[in-house]
Structure 1
């Protein structure tokens, strides 16, 4: 068997959604710290929705929209940011560099209530 195995590339045709990454309040913009989430960059993304996720907080059951978002790797993004898609904001709770190859990010994000 050959030592180099074939590894198919991710299908970039599935990146059909536009998502915007937001910087948190306190970031310096124009020499002054911001007081609100500010738009940073808009990228193409693939989105998978997982509805019906039950979250238990403060002894209450709330329904939150959970999304799995795939984007091309960018070194300037981090998990302290938020994502905006179709006017709804999402908190990033997991952001992984797929196979540590600096090619793709898989992001798990939860709707901001």
Structure 2
């Protein structure tokens, strides 16, 4: 497999990696409790924006590609946060299987 060139010098966004630790609400449900796992540097690139309709309500979705240095502890369902922006991790892959970088497809929350 060919090596993919990724310029780590373009990792200009400081991101907090967060994991959800659900907390019981004592009536059979749970509340989300996001805790910070690590601080990372990465590159955020917009990929697409779409608007679907749910009944008469438009549902907007913005996806991005975030490039990070390789880590084994990142999973789908975790999220990345940049200041007040939150990105839910949908998919993760190593572009050239070299263990150097990860490409994360994410959906921006709260848009």
Q: Shorter-chain TM-score: what band? A: 0.7 to 0.9
Which residue matches 1:15? 11
TM-score by length of 1: 0.75
What is the Cα deviation at residue 58 of structure 1? 3.1
Does the alignment pair 1:81 with 2:78? Answer: yes
**Poorly superposed stretches of 4+, deviation over 4 Å:** none
The correspondence of residues 26-105 of structure 1 with structure 2, limited to 5 A, is: 26=22, 35-50=32-47, 53-56=49-52, 58-59=54-55, 60-105=57-102
Does the CA contact (< 8 Å) of 1:54 and 1:61 recur in 2?
Answer: no
TM-score by length of 2: 0.76
- The separation in 2 between residues aligned to 1:71 and 1:17, in whole angstroms, is 10
